[in-house]
Amino acid sequence: MRSIKQPGSPVPERIQWVEARGRAFSFTLQEGLPLLEAARRGFAAEGFAGGVLNFGRGALGPFGYVMPALSKTGENAAFYSDTLRPQGLTRTKLGSMTLGMRDGAPFFHCHGLWLEADGKASGGHMLPHQTIVAEAFDVSAFGIDGAMFSAEPDPETNFKLFGPIAAASAGGRATSRAYALRLRPNQDFAGCLEGFCRARGIARAKIHGGVGSTIGARFTHGGVTEPFATELAITAGVIAPGASGDLEAALDVALIDYTGGIAEGRLIRGDNPVLMTMELVLEVLD
């Protein structure tokens, strides 16, 4: 399986996880607010300090983002481009967000694809404090109670990354058993989730959110992304018994690579290792 050497040593625990409770809901991001504040308000109105969300068509502007890029210093296995600020209105196609805390304040990690005002199709990593909701649009969210995504220094990748930590329960608003996860580098995305569920006797689970990166990508429709550095959003995902009765993860994703190549589809199981990180929430269905 493909792998990328990271600057630091791998830690023994390859999945960082916290068991929690959660609940799915929808809300509308308010026009004129920074995307971060609009997301925070939506979760807070339902009694949650954080969680994950997915979205489709929306409008952003002003808008700031970065794309994946090669590392110029060698201090990281890959890095980010300079900040890009397209003029006019940017129309989102899809995206996924993790809402948590960084340096004691709300923060998000958000990847998506979009169409810029000049007709350019692009994607990448949205910048929380440089992105404004230009027109109100709806999102599908999953709030978590008893866990929180917190940005902490990660010696393995030499980045400050979101990972789940235990948090005090707000009580009463969560209805489902859930797990907040962060998958560490150089392990197969699908295999990781399948093994996690098997170990806990989880027969069926749904993925909410899903933000991270893979080492290129191999798709069931035959598509291949060769450039190794990507920014990826999960668009849909379930772990359930396949035809053989064994657990299989069906992972539909969208990504952009560091050359600007865009790809969408279902990932092949066993051939899509994590590059830097993968954050998501698993809702246990039975």
Between CA 49 and CA 278 the distance in angstroms is: 20
Q: What band does 172 get if pLDDT is binned at 50, 70 and 90? A: low
Calculate mean pLDDT across residues 20-45.
97
pLDDT in tens, 76-104: 999 999 999 999 999 999 999 999 999 99
Query: For residue 177, what are its two tokens?
Result: 């058993």
pLDDT digits 0-9 by tens, 131-142: 999 999 999 999
Which domains are delineated in the chain? 21-143 (3.30.1330.80), 178-284 (3.30.1330.80)
Residue 286 — very low, low, confident or very high, per pLDDT cuts 50/70/90?
confident
Q: Is the pLDDT of residue 171 over 80?
A: no
- Contact between residue 1 and residue 188 where contact means Cβ atoms under 8 Å apart: yes
Task: Please say whether the beta carbons of 53 and 142 come within 8 A.
Answer: yes
pLDDT band at 233, cuts 50/70/90?
very high
What residues form DSSP beta bridges with 218?
Answer: 224
pLDDT tens-digit profile of 192-229?
999 999 999 999 999 999 999 999 999 999 999 999 99
Question: Whats the size of the chain, residue-wise?
Answer: 286
Structure tokens at 52: 């994950």
pTM of the model: 0.97
